A = this chain, B = another copy of it.
Amino acid sequence: MAVLKEVQQNYGKLKQYINGEWIESRSTQVYENVNPATGEVIATFPSATDEEVNQAIESAHAAMKTWGAVPLRDKAKYLFDLRQKFVEKADWLSRILVQDHGRTIGEARGTLSRCIENIESACSALLLLTKGEYVSDLAKGLDQTLYWEPRGVFLIITPNNIPMHAWSSFVPYAFASGCPVIVSPSKEDPLCAQAIFEVTREVAGFPPGLMNLVYGGRNVNDKILSHPHVKGVGFIGSTDVGRKLFARAGELGKEASINGNGKNHVVLTEDMDIKTAVNGLLRGCYGMAGQRCLGADNLLVMDGVYDKLKEAFVAASAAMKMGYGLDESTELGPLVSKKGQQKVIDFIDRGIADGAKILLDGRNATVKGFEGGFFVGPTVFENVDPDMFIARQESFGPVANLIRVKDIDEALDLINNKDDYGHSACLFTQSGAMARKFTKEADVGNVGINVPVPQPYAFFPLGSKNESAQGTAKTRIDSMRLFLDQKTVTERWA
C-alpha cells in the first residue's frame, strides 16, 4: 500500500497544468478526490478560475504554431517517445488508476494496454493517415492536392469510468493531427488525469501549451467551448450531457464528437458452450463493477438453455471475490463514488419495486477491512419485462437482467426496438448462420460473437449507433476526422 502514501504525499493537492507548467490554482473552491475502496480522501483539487481557463486557452492557441512548426518526422519521434514513456510507467499508472477509480489491478493493467495501443495507433495515424492526396493533369495542365490541416484547439472531456482510456481515445490523435488540447476530467477521479500529465510531460519535444489540464467539469467546459480559439470538443460521458454539448457546439459553429450511454444485450443460444458463456458474462456484467459502456446488461436467454444458464451464472456470480483492487486476488472492486454506489442501489430498488425477481442481491455487500468502500455485489434479476426501467436504463453497476426469449428473432426484436442507445450486442453460438444473421441485423455499433465485451482495437473506432453517439467522427483512430480539416489546392503552371 506504499503507493497510496506516495499518492497522498505528492498529490495531496492537485495542480492544474497550463502552458507546460504545474500551476497552483487561485480558486477558493476545493473538491475532494476519494479512494472508492477506502472512502478516504486522497487528494483535493480546485475549480479553474476564469483567468486560468483563459491562460490554458491562450497557451494552447500559441502551441498551434509551435507544434505546427515541428516537422512531421519529429512529431513522429515524439509520439513514439510518448509510447515508450507509457510502457515504462504502465505499472505506476495502473496502481494510480486502482486507487482513484476502484477497478482491480488486473483491469487497470488491461486499461493501460488499451492506452498504449491508442498511442501506437496514433503513431501509425500520424505517419499514414495525415498524408494528403495528389492528382496530376486532372484537366490539361491542372494538378490538385488535398491536404489535412489541424482544425485548432480542442476541449477534451473525460468521464469518471474510464479516466485514462478516454484520454487515450482522443489526445494522442489530437497531437498526431497537430491540435493542442485542454483536458477537463471528471471530478470523481482527477488524480488519473494528473498522473497521465505527469508521464506525458516527460516527452521533451512536446511544446508548452500542447496540452493543458484544468479542473471543474461542467463549470469550466462551457467557458472553454465558447472561446473563439477553441474549435471543438471530444466528449465521452452520458448521452444527455453529450446531446446538449453537441447542440451548443452547433450554435457556436464548432465540431463535436459525442460518445454516450449503452444498454447492452447478450444473447445466449441453445447451441453455445455454457462454460465459455458464463465466464464471459462475469467479465461482461461485473467488469469494472459494471461501469463500462460496453458492459453487459440484459441477458437474452433462449428457452431451452434458460434454466441451466441461470443456475450456472448465479452460482458463478455469487462466487466473485470482492475487494480492494490492489489486492491481486480481487475480482470485483468498488463503485467509483458514494454517489455512484447509491445510484446502483436505487436502480436495484427500482427493479424490485417494478416487479422483477431478484436472484442475487448485491446491495448490502461489504468487504472486510474496507468497510468505508463503495461496494455493490453482483446482482441478478429475472422476470424482467423488456419495458421495465431496469431493462431500458443503464445501471452503471454490477447488475444483470435475465430475460427469456424463444429464438434469435425475438432477441433481435428486443435489441432493435428496446435499446435506444444501440451501443453493443453480443451473441454466444456455434452456428455460422446465426452469427451472420445477428451481425447484420443487430442495429448496434459493436457486435460480439462469443465474446462478452466487443471492445474494438484502437485502430478501429468504437462503433456507436443511434443515441449512443453523435457526430460523424468517433473516437480512437477515427478522431483524426474530428481534429483534421481538409484543404484543397488547385494549380496550373503549364
- Whether A297 is near chain B, meaning CB under 8 Å from some CB there, is no
Q: Beyond A249-B250, A429-B432, A432-B431, is A447–B120 a contact (Cβ under 8 Å)?
A: no
CB-defined contacts of A389 to chain B, threshold 8 Å: none
Question: Which residues on B sit within 8 Å (CB–CB) of A73?
Answer: 113, 117, 138-139, 457
Cβ-defined contact, B132 with A136, below 8 A: yes
A71 touches B142 (CB 8 A): yes
Instruction: Give min CB distance, A299 to chain B, whole Å.
Output: 18
Inside 8 A of A246's CB, which chain B residues have their CB?
Answer: 250, 253
Residues of B close to A455: CB separation below 8 A:
490
B146 touches A136 (CB 8 A): no
B131 and A128 contacting across the interface, CB-CB below 8 Å: no
> Interface 1/0s, chain A 124-151, versus B by CB < 8 A?
1101111111111111101111110000
User: Taking chain A's interface residues, is the majority helix, strand, or loop, or is none over half, making it mixed?
Assistant: mixed
A447 vs chain B, min Cβ distance (A): 5
Chain A count of residues within 8 A CB distance of the other chain: 98
Query: Within the complex, which residue of B81, B134, B254, B493 is in contact with A436, where a contact is CB–CB below 8 Å?
Result: B493
Binds B, one of A156-164, A219-227, A437-445: A437-445
Q: Which of A397-449 contact B (CB under 8 A)?
A: 429-433, 435-437, 439-440, 444-449
List the number of copies, as a whole number: 4
Segment touching B, from A29-37, A40-48, A97-105, A478-486 = A478-486
Does A492 sit at the interface, judged by CB under 8 A? yes
Q: Inside 8 A of A445's CB, which chain B residues have their CB?
A: 485-488
When the two chains form their complex, are residues B251 and A493 in contact, meaning their CB atoms are under 8 A apart?
no
Contact A128 B139 (CB under 8 A): no
- Known contacts A250-B243, A478-B486, A449 near B80 by CB under 8 Å: no
Interface centre among A447, A455, A482, by most chain B C-beta atoms within 10 angstroms, is A447
Residue ID in chain B nearest A126 by CB atoms: B124
Q: Are B472 and A138 in contact (CB under 8 A)?
A: no
Cβ contact within 8 Å between B493 and A449 = yes
CB distance from A335 to the nearest CB of B (A): 27
Closest to A276 in B: B492
**Residues in B neighbouring A464, C-beta threshold 8 A:** 486
Binding site for B on A (CB under 8 A): 69, 71-73, 76-77, 80-81, 83-84, 87, 113, 116-117, 120-121, 123-125, 127-140, 142-147, 243, 246-251, 253-256, 429-433, 435-437, 439-440, 444-451, 454-457, 459-465, 467, 470-474, 478, 481-482, 485-494
Jot down 28 A-B pairs with beta carbons below 8 A, ordered by A.
Answer: A72-B136, A73-B117, A73-B457, A76-B117, A84-B87, A124-B127, A128-B128, A128-B459, A133-B133, A134-B145, A135-B457, A144-B457, A248-B250, A253-B470, A430-B432, A444-B487, A445-B487, A447-B487, A447-B488, A449-B490, A450-B491, A451-B491, A451-B492, A461-B488, A463-B485, A464-B486, A471-B472, A472-B482
